[in-house]
């Protein structure tokens, strides 16, 4: 299905990507330096604590927004739940507050997953970008999911990274709605750097940065060419070589994915000279997991990592 979708949207997106990339490459800014050794205290080099990825024969399983079938999404509780279930890889969504702090939140509005309406009744439409980090830190991001999670907070990216480091987990970081947040790529990389997530060990094995915004992915690649990147979407096959210049992964919606499309992606090499990878989302039941596994995907992004692992580990 995907293999033949040479849509106008994809063509426009590709043109925009190439244009943005040329601009960036002409002035990518100073490279971000490695973090000082003193900042690398939480995450140290070495193998991840869990052995699940290495032991299981099956695609890498990403706990989507944490183990979000079982705990409030994009919170430290959801990270810990993924850890308790034995999962190394966690996906999240990063946006910027009004004062430029990266926070972990999926929606561009605060209404669905916090009590922002109650705490700030006069601040409609409760957009993340209109609130400071201090204001967001006052919100309850757990009660919507269940009373037992009352008091759970919206984590900053920095807090999120520290919890992952403590748990020895890895991160599939999504830059959400990049058009809303000019400069979010540089700010995100700065925090990653300060927290030790851009050292050699993390860059090699423990971090992927992805976005629906192809220009955003290209910006990350231009700023830090060593970082593994992913594009969220399913570009037409004819357009894939252009994407392979700046992204290591093509991560499409699972609906409509075909083995032919996966093979077309796999036929290409990414900017680091390795086979382009495919990790579809969001696959939450065993039958769907088996189906995409049968297509040869490299990873599966899921709210229920235990279900996917059980269905795919061979
Ligand atoms: O990681 C893939 C997936 O998160 C993309 O969709 O809307 O859940 O961020 P969304
Ligand atoms: Ca996401």
Judge contact between 251 and 214, C-beta under 8 A.
no
Atom index in ligand 1 nearest the CA of residue 176 equals: 9
pLDDT > 70 fraction of the chain, expressed in percent and rounded: 82
Contact assessment for residue 23 and residue 280, using Cβ atoms and an 8 Å cutoff? no
Q: pLDDT tens-digit profile of 220-270?
A: 999 999 999 999 999 999 999 999 999 999 999 999 999 999 999 999 999
Pocket of ligand 1 (CB under 6 A): 64, 91, 93, 106, 174, 232, 251, 281-282, 301
**According to the model, what pLDDT value does residue 290 have?**
97
**d(C-alpha 86, C-alpha 305), whole Å:** 9
Predicted pLDDT at 313: 83
Could you tell me the distance, in angstroms and rounded to a whole number, from the CA of residue 270 to the centre of ligand 2? 22
Q: What pLDDT is attached to residue 294?
A: 97
Pocket test for ligand 1, best of 170, 174, 303 (most atoms within 8 A of CB): 174
227 Cα to the center of ligand 2, angstroms:
18
pTM value? 0.85
32 in Cβ contact with 224 (< 8 Å): yes
Note if 266 is an active site residue: no
**pLDDT value for 4:** 37
Q: Which of 91, 208, 280 has most ligand 1 atoms within 8 Å of its beta carbon, as the pocket-test mutant?
A: 91
For residue 302, give the ligand nearest its CA.
1
Active site residue 64: yes
Looking at the CA of 62, name the nearest ligand: 1
Q: What's the pLDDT score for residue 177?
A: 98
Q: Which of 50, 106, 202, 221 is the catalytic position?
A: 106
pLDDT tens-digit map of 154-185: 999 999 999 999 999 999 999 999 999 999 99
Closest protein CA for atom 3 of ligand 1: 281
68, two tokens: 């979000």
Here the tokens at position 128 are: 């993340």
- Which residues of the chain, if any, have pLDDT below 50? 1-49, 51-55
To test ligand 1's pocket by mutation, which of 231, 301, 304 has the most ligand atoms within 8 angstroms of CB? 301
The reported pLDDT for the residue numbered 227 is 98
How far apart are the CA of 281 and the centre of ligand 1, in A? 7
Residue tagged active-site, from 50, 64, 202, 221: 64
């Amino acid at each position: 299905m995907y293999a033949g979708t040479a849509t106008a949207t994809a063509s426009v997106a590709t043109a925009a990507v190439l244009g943005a990339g040329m601009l960036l490459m002409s002035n990518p800014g100073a490279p971000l330096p490695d973090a000082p050794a003193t900042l690398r205290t939480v995450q140290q080099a070495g193998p991840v604590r869990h052995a699940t990825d290495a032991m299981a024969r099956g695609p890498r399983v990403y706990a989507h927004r944490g183990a979000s079938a079982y705990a409030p999404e994009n919170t430290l509780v959801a990270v810990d739940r993924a850890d308790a279930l034995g999962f190394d890889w966690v996906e999240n969504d990063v946006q910027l507050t009004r004062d430029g702090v990266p926070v972990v939140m999926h929606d561009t509005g605060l209404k669905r997953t916090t009590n922002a309406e109650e705490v700030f009744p006069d601040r409609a439409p409760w957009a993340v970008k209109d609130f400071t980090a201090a204001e967001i830190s006052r919100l309850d991001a757990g009660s919507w999911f269940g009373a037992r999670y009352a008091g759970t907070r919206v984590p900053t990216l920095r807090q999120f990274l520290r919890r992952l480091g403590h748990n020895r987990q890895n991160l599939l970081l999504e830059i959400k709605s990049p058009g809303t947040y000019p400069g979010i790529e540089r700010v995100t990389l700065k925090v990653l750097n300060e927290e030790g997530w851009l050292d050699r060990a993390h860059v090699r094995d423990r971090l992927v940065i992805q976005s629906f915004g192809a220009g955003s992915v290209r910006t990350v690649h231009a700023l830090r060419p060593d970082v593994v990147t992913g594009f969220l979407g399913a570009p037409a096959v004819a357009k894939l070589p252009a994407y392979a210049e700046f992204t290591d992964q093509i991560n499409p919606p699972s609906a409509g994915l075909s083995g032919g499309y996966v093979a077309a992606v796999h036929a290409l090499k990414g900017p680091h000279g390795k086979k382009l990878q495919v990790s579809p989302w969001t696959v939450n039941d065993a039958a769907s997991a088996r189906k995409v596994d049968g297509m040869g995907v490299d990873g599966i992004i899921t709210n229920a990592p235990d279900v996917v692992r059980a269905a795919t580990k061979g």
